[in-house]
Amino acid sequence: MKEFFDCLKCKECGRTYPKEAQHVCEFDFGPLEATYNYHKLKKYVTRQLLESGPHSMWRYEAFLPLEESPTVGLHTGMTPLIRAHRLGKVLGVKELYIKNDAINYPSLSFKDRVVSVALSRARELNFSIVSCASTGNLANSLAANAASSGFKSYVLIPADLELAKVIGSLVYKTKVIGIRGSYDKVNRLCSEIAGKYRWAFVNVNFRPYYAEGSKTMGFEILEQMGWEIPDHTVICMASGSLLTKIDKAYREAIICGLVEDKPYAIHGAQALGCNPITAAFKKGTDLIRPVPNPSTIAKSLAIGTPADGFYAIQTIRRTGGFSEDVNDLEIIEGIKILAETEGIFAETAGGVTVGCAKKLIEKGHIPPSGKIVLCITGNGLKTADVLKDHLQPIQIIDPTIQDFDKIVAL
């Protein structure tokens, strides 16, 4: 494979670091990020080259921080981007698209992208045990990919997650450790463990590698839009990493001449019950006030101290986007209109994206013209319980034509 991955670099001071299992700058504690030789990369990548690559996220491998060809998650990505005529009509916009990672492979969320990169890198660096702090989907993806690639795995989650997400990890025979407390507590414990055991924590010591995987969702959007940056992209946020990386993909595509440089807006979406990024954005500050006790049905987004929140706000501001939030009822409404109009069953995080998009359009932050992409990041079957009291009950009848006639006539 052709390699363009240069080094890790502190996002604050720019100091560079070797390509190891390291994630913070020793001088100012800034996060480390993968950087590339854009001079060479620009000469190498073309639309034709990328289009002729594998039907997976790995067609963008030149933009990913690996030294060898990938070994994990070879079937991940290239999820559908669909034109959402019917939802667009309901929301009052002309050209709406859904990027649907609810059907990503193998574990039905965008987290398959980040895990594929992190575990491929973990193998390159000779780690044999992989782990993560998770709000559910990351645990599912790590467990599934570890099972199929022969890593031993441990996942740490808040003990009160949805049953489907707990089972969706246990089934792969990973060790599931439920922590009494919020995600922030889980994450803090993982940092401590990572200091003591030589494990690859995909979102702690492997975070620079993990995070780059999210860019592939951005590259796919560009290619599937016919190599054009959408005017508006709406992205739900937990740590804020996905949002910043979709923007990084857009900027790298501009640098490499894959798309025309033009103004575009990146919009953030959070649940009202855990909205540290949106609250800071709306207050006009960069200073994120942690949410110590998140309370929302969107558990996958319930991170009270978002690691990339500061950078997410910078991205939203720089691009002229907006950050919105929605309450639990609005989340359920969002899930329902997406399902009823487009036949897509998203998890609560998708309800946040759709609900916030609706508000952004109503308030004029997204105009009715222009190309709009909503990023759907997880699958509704994993959080189906939240809909229990919000749908029509099923009708139960005796197996007779008379009973059937009666209910059809109604």
Ligand X SMILES: *Cc1c(COP(=O)(O)O)cnc(C)c1O
Contact 385, 163 (CB under 8 A): yes
Q: Looking at beta carbons only, is 88 or 350 nearer to ligand X?
A: 350
Q: Looking at beta carbons only, is 33 or 347 nearer to ligand X?
A: 347
Name the residues that contact ligand X, by CB under 6 A. Answer: 109, 111, 137, 236-242, 300-301, 347, 349, 377-378
Q: Looking at beta carbons only, is 93 or 274 nearer to ligand X?
A: 274
Give the whole-angstrom CA distance, residue 238 versus residue 135.
9
Q: Looking at beta carbons only, is 41 or 246 nearer to ligand X?
A: 246
Considering only CA atoms, give the Rg of the chain.
21
For residue 359, give both structure tokens: 């508000």
Q: Looking at beta carbons only, is 61 or 347 nearer to ligand X?
A: 347
Q: Looking at beta carbons only, is 50 or 271 nearer to ligand X?
A: 271
Helix (H, G, I), strand (E, B) or coil at 133: strand
Give least dist CB 132 to ligand X, A: 11
Give least dist CB 323 to ligand X, A: 12
Give least dist CB 96 to ligand X, A: 19
Residue nearest to ligand X (CB): 378
Helix (H, G, I), strand (E, B) or coil at 407: helix
Give least dist CB 276 to ligand X, A: 12
- Helices 137-149 and 163-170: crossing angle in degrees, nearest 10, is 10
For residue 124, give both structure tokens: 């390159």
Helix H, strand E, coil C: the string for 78-116 is CCCEEECHHHHHHHCCCEEEEEEHHHCCCCCECHHHHHH
Side by side, which strands form the sheet with 323-326?
81-83, 95-100, 371-376, 232-236, 265-271, 323-326
Give least dist CB 408 to ligand X, A: 38
Give least dist CB 243 to ligand X, A: 6
